[in-house]
Amino acid sequence: MDWAVIPRNLSFLLGGLVLTFELAAISLAGGFLLGIIMGLGRLSSRKWIYYPASLYVNFFRSLPLILVIFWFYFMVPFIIGRPLGDFLSAIIAFIAFEAAYFAEIVRGGIQSVPQGQVMAGYSTGLSYYETMRHIILPQALRNMVPPIVTQCVIIFQDTSLAYVIGLKEFLRRTSLVDSRELRSLELYLFAGFVYLIFCSIGTIASRRLESRQIRR
């Protein structure tokens, strides 16, 4: 074993980790926002909103992420006439894909708020938007925190799949270093260790939040 390979390439590897975090953060924010919209759509009593939202969620939940990444990478340039670049097309793929999972989290969170709260909001003259914004979503968000943290951990791991379109995120850079240095064992152990650290932090945070919720 020659662990010196890691300090030697550390800045290159950490650069990939930064990209991984960027990818995860943007996917999380975008996926969550789109997920709220889709989740609300799944709860709509209007068929023309409910069916498209349900179709969206079920569609993306039945596809492997790697396929979605390929799709956006190859299809979007075909539609808009110019290449998007690997980062942007990966971002779009992640947002579209994760939104489907967030939609289900949002739906569950909102359904956990008693229906009487909606009635109370409406009865004072608040609109649907105001009732959601000020009464339902703040309560639902509280219930959604543990599954959202879990989903963050999953997104963080999922970003490694962006290597299939050549994006130089953390895992991709590890394999690039490996092809140069031929130190597979050390490098992939190190990569695993890094993922383990960050995902454990997320998992522990999630468990803490959950137990706090139970006590309340």
Please report, for residues 18, 109, 120, the alpha-carbon distance to residue 94 in angstroms, rounded to integers and kept in the order given.
17, 22, 37
**Where do the H-state alpha helices sit in the chain?**
5-42, 47-61, 65-80, 86-111, 115-123, 128-131, 137-158, 170-181, 184-215
For the chain, the residue count is 216
Residue 119 binds to other proteins (criterion: CB under 8 A):
yes
Distance CA 2, CA 29 (A): 39
Site for other proteins in 129-158 (CB under 8 A): 130, 134-135, 138-139, 142
For residue 167, the minimal CB distance to other proteins (Å) is: 40
118 contacts: CB under 8 Å, gap ≥ 6: 131, 135, 136
Determine contact, residues 163/169, Cβ cutoff 8 Å.
yes
Residue 212 binds to other proteins (criterion: CB under 8 A):
no
Distance CA 127, CA 155 (A): 34
For residue 35, the minimal CB distance to other proteins (Å) is: 21
Residue 127 binds to other proteins (criterion: CB under 8 A):
yes
Q: Which of 140, 81, 156 is nearest to 108 (CA)?
A: 140
The residue among 17 and 140 lying less far from other proteins, judged by its C-beta, is: 140
Return the range that interacts with other proteins (CB under 8 A); candidates 19-27, 62-70, 127-135, 166-174.
Answer: 127-135
Distance CA 166, CA 106 (A): 32
- The 183-202 contact track toward other proteins, x by CB under 8 A, reads --------------------
For residue 49, the minimal CB distance to other proteins (Å) is: 18
Return the range that interacts with other proteins (CB under 8 A); candidates 27-35, 118-126, 152-160, 201-209.
Answer: 118-126
Return the range that interacts with other proteins (CB under 8 A); candidates 14-22, 100-108, 125-133, 162-170.
Answer: 125-133
Place of tokens 């031929």: 182
Q: Which of 44, 54, 117, 175 binds other proteins (CB under 8 A)?
A: 117
Residue 116 binds to other proteins (criterion: CB under 8 A):
yes
Number of residues in contact with other proteins under rule CB under 8 A: 17
Contact positions vs other proteins (CB under 8 A): 114, 116-117, 119-120, 122-127, 130, 134-135, 138-139, 142
